[in-house]
Amino acid sequence: MAKTFEPKSIIVTGGCGFIGSNFVHFVAREHPEVKVTVLDKLTYAGNPANIEGTGAELVVGDICDASLLDKLVPGHDAIVHFAAESHNDNSIADPSPFVQTNVRGTYELLEVCRRYGVRMHHVSTDEVYGDLALDDPARFTEETPYHPSSPYSSTKASSDLLVRAWYRTFGVPVTISNCSNNYGPYQHIEKFIPRQITNVLWGIRPKLYGDGKNVRDWIHTEDHSSAVWAILTRGRLGETYLVGADGERDNITVMRDILRGMNQPEDAFDWVRDRPGHDRRYAIDPTKLRRELGWAPRHTDFAEGLAQTIQWYRDNEDWWKPAKRATEEKYAAQGQ
């Protein structure tokens, strides 16, 4: 096992987004001695309220801004890179921001890490591997070839390859994680689980793509946060670790779980046309992460984690209400 890395000061890019802000809360709770600076562009998916109470310093700015990075990064021990355009539907409508943020932004971060000798952990997605057949017993491993399907996943694959190249060519100290689908608090309501929850809360019938048989491998965002910390501090440099919690469920099962958890009939939803290039199944084999770093998920009961998530959205309507109408108008225009 690699020697433990003990950062005293870290930058979290995209720390006002869903997964990034949950990581900021995790560090504040579990490692309060670590100073956290959040660098976030505050696009529609970033909300400063997400990091209230954490003590993190917020710097509003773009990871593509090299001059800003030159001012900000020196003096920090590590960058934990969550910042990304991440919504598949948006990447299909307009790929440009995905190329800019996910590819160029990662390049600029790697270059500033190279200039100042700063460590970087790059957070990526299992979508870079494409998809698996529904009847295939295989799961993604660190050796699975890349086969991205969407503009989003192809830009994340590109960023992963840049990170690997900067390690091999320039010796930049990096690690990579590819994680399965996250759920939990602070997730933007354009995403599947919070969209259905908030639809029910507003008296709108939930919507389900295609035949509902697409399978995703769900992990609670708190478990993702603990895995990222384990990799940042104990992972081997240059290595990739897959993060998953053995949470495979097809979309129609998740939809019914949500409806049942909100005291609705299990068929109280509408079918909508499938999205282009909709991957059939994702499944993560986290053996390497568990074997090398001794990591294990704590939220292993999906129903319990989902119930907590539903309650969070019930309790925090003021957080999601401002974005709800515009989100549903956008989906309606797309026939979804």
Q: pLDDT by residue (tens digit) across 89-110? A: 888 889 999 999 999 999 999 9
Q: What is the CATH number of domain 9-187+219-245+279-300?
A: 3.40.50.720
Nearest Cα to 197, choosing from 264, 288, 295, 148? 264
Determine the pLDDT at residue 240.
98
Q: Of 40, 62, 127, 160, which is the active-site residue?
A: 127
For the chain, the domains span: 9-187+219-245+279-300
Phi and psi for 242 in degrees, rounded to 5?
Answer: -90, 135
Catalytic residue among 40, 62, 85, 126: 126
The one catalytic residue among 107, 129, 152, 183: 152
Residue 89 to residue 331: CA distance in whole angstroms = 9
Task: Let me know if 143 is a catalytic residue.
Answer: no
What sign for the dihedral angle of Cα 259, 260, 263, 267? positive
Q: Is 127 a catalytic residue?
A: yes
Is pTM beyond 0.85? Reply is: yes
**Cβ–Cβ < 8 Å for 39, 118:** no
Which residues, given as ranges, of the chain have pLDDT below 50?
Answer: none
- Residue 239: active-site member: no
* Cβ-proximal residues to 153 (8 Å cutoff; 6+ apart), any chain: 88, 125, 127, 128, 130
